[in-house]
Amino acid sequence: TVLKVFGGIMDKVLSIYHITDASSDVMELQVFQTVRAQGFKILTIPAHRAGWFFCISMAEGTIAVVLLMAGIRWLVTTKEIVELLLNSVALAYIMDLDELIYSVLIPVKVCAMVRLLEPLPARWPIFVPVRSIVL
């Protein structure tokens, strides 16, 4: 699950990098409607918002690394197979805790807006398969 977190961080950072506009002061949204879907599309993000996003992504990655190291140390000291399975499930629960907190604390209107946002494309360069090499 830690590799899944790292993959998500890498995809998000690359997507935000591609739509960051240093000359813009506001985030630009576009409303779209097609036969299959409707919602919002993020066109540009100002540099200061992208900077905050990159800082939060670094914090998320740091937390994932710390949990990975602590989890490995915890699992290595486990002597019985039943305890190993229980500890593994507990670590997976800790990794998913942020999603549970999000689903409980975010207001319904904000959740609906996020659901209507079109996913940002992660355009990885083909000549260097960075994501495949790292993960």
pLDDT in tens, 43-100: 999 999 999 999 999 999 998 899 889 888 888 888 888 888 888 888 888 888 888 8
User: Could you list the residue range(s) of the whole structural domain that residue 108 is in?
Assistant: 2-123
* Residue 14 placed within a domain: yes
* Residue 134 placed within a domain: no
Q: What is the pTM assigned to this prediction?
A: 0.77
pLDDT, tens only, 85-98: 888 888 888 888 88
The alpha helices in 22-96, defined as continuous H runs, are 47-76, 81-95
46-52 long-range CB contacts below 8 Å, 24 or more apart?
A: 46/20, 46/21, 46/22, 47/20, 47/21, 47/22, 50/16, 50/17, 50/20
Per-residue confidence (pLDDT) for residue 50, from 0 to 100: 95
pLDDT, tens only, 104-131: 999 999 998 889 999 888 777 766 676 6
* Residue 114 placed within a domain: yes
Contact between residue 98 and residue 9 where contact means Cβ atoms under 8 Å apart: no
